[in-house]
Amino acid sequence: MGGKYSLEELEIKANDIREDIIRMLEYAGSGHSAGPLGLADIFTALYFDVLKHDPAKPNWGERDILLLSNGHCVPVRYAAMAHAGYFDKNELMTLRQFGSRLQGHPERTKLPGLESTSGPLGSGLSQACGMSLAMRMNSENHRWIYVIMGDGELDEGNVWEAAMLASKYKLHNIIGIIDRNNIQIDGPTEKVMPLEDLSHKWESFGWNVIDIDGNNIEAVIDACSMGRANTTKPTMIIAQTIPGKGVDFMEYDFKWHGKPPDHDQAKKALHELRTLGGKIKGEHE
């Protein structure tokens, strides 16, 4: 820690981002719910503490790079970017609409600050490798590349091609974060295509592996610091997250991977987020 926000402020931001995700998805009428909600704490940690960035200058030459390899989770990135000041929060409601800069899957050429275009899975880590190699050639030693990946995404062979390359070239300014929420479209990851023992897999590929609770903002921030401190290996943070985190009826249910809430479900979800699951009284009650 040591950023400009306290842990409590960050937790409130994560909750605000979750509310925006619910509103955006309900209004859009399509999109993924579980992943973005589960990733809200990681994105809050990144945009409000970890990343060196300037929302007013998205192409700032010394910025850290954040790649979202599992592009379908982009609503959480859009919401975090709007909260950070990249664009007005009102624009969030244009998600997935005709003419919007907020495409269903992120497109770099449409919205400044996205860094790449993704959706088809498995290619983010490779692009991080290319970026890291370019930085090394340029002697840019103080820039970090964070790559968010889904766990289902690890079924893609392209990921492991990149894992070998990053290890071979000791691309230690790459910090990957796997959203280990254990679900993918067809069901639990361990049924669809078993990934365990995931930590040992990455270790055996030559990576510095850190296992954390991905819904603990402080743990995310600490793990990123530990990753930056390792100057010999690329780092993979395996972040256990709860899919649909914060909305009781969505949590742990793979059926919420690829669908948005309807009006009543959104109302229920927002109530729950505002009251932190009934623990506090909502402002709007």
Partner 1 sequence: MSDMHLVHQRWTDTKVLMEPIRKGFGRGLKSAGEKDENVVAACADLTDSTQMHLFKEAFAERFVEIGVAEQNLVTVGAGLAAMGKIPFVSSYAAFSPGRNWEQIRTTICLNDQPVNIIGSHAGVSVGPDGATHQMLEDITLMRALPNMTVIAPGDSIEAEKATVALAKYKKPSYMRLAREGTAIISTDKTPFEIGKAYIYTQGSDMTIIATGTMTYQALLASEMLFKQGIDAEVIHCPTIKPLDAATILRSVKKTKLVITAEEHQVNGGLGGAISEFLGEHYPVPMRRVGVRDKFGQSGKPEELLEEYGLTAKHITFTAVKLHEEAR
Shortest CB 45 distance to partner 1, Å: 24
Q: Which is nearer to partner 1, 74 or 269 (CB)?
A: 74
Contact residues for partner 1 (CB under 8 A)? 107-109, 115-120, 122-123, 126-135, 137-138, 157-158, 161-162, 164-165, 169
Shortest CB 120 distance to partner 1, Å: 5
Residue with tokens 């402080």: 218
Shortest CB 174 distance to partner 1, Å: 10
The tokens describing 190, both together, are 């361990």
Shortest CB 160 distance to partner 1, Å: 9
Shortest CB 8 distance to partner 1, Å: 36
Residues contacting residue 266 through CB under 8 Å, at least 6 positions apart: 22, 23, 25, 26
Q: Which is nearer to partner 1, 145 or 195 (CB)?
A: 145
Q: Which is nearer to partner 1, 136 or 228 (CB)?
A: 136
Residue type, 35: G
The tokens describing 141, both together, are 């030693």
Beta-strand relationship, 187-188 and 183-184: antiparallel
The tokens describing 250, both together, are 């969505």
Q: Which is nearer to partner 1, 127 or 181 (CB)?
A: 127
What b/e readout covers 62-79, taking b as 16+ CB neighbours within 10 angstroms? ebbbbbbbbbbbbbbbbb
Q: Which is nearer to partner 1, 161 or 218 (CB)?
A: 161
Q: Which is nearer to partner 1, 69 or 181 (CB)?
A: 69
From residue 160, give the alpha-carbon distance in Å to each of 60, 92, 129, 166, 181. 31, 34, 12, 10, 19
> Could you write out the DSSP letters of every residue in 214-276?
TT-HHHHHHHHHHHHH--SS-EEEEEE--TTTT-TTTTT-GGGSS----HHHHHHHHHHHHTT
Cβ 161 vs Cβ 125: under 8 Å = no
Shortest CB 109 distance to partner 1, Å: 5
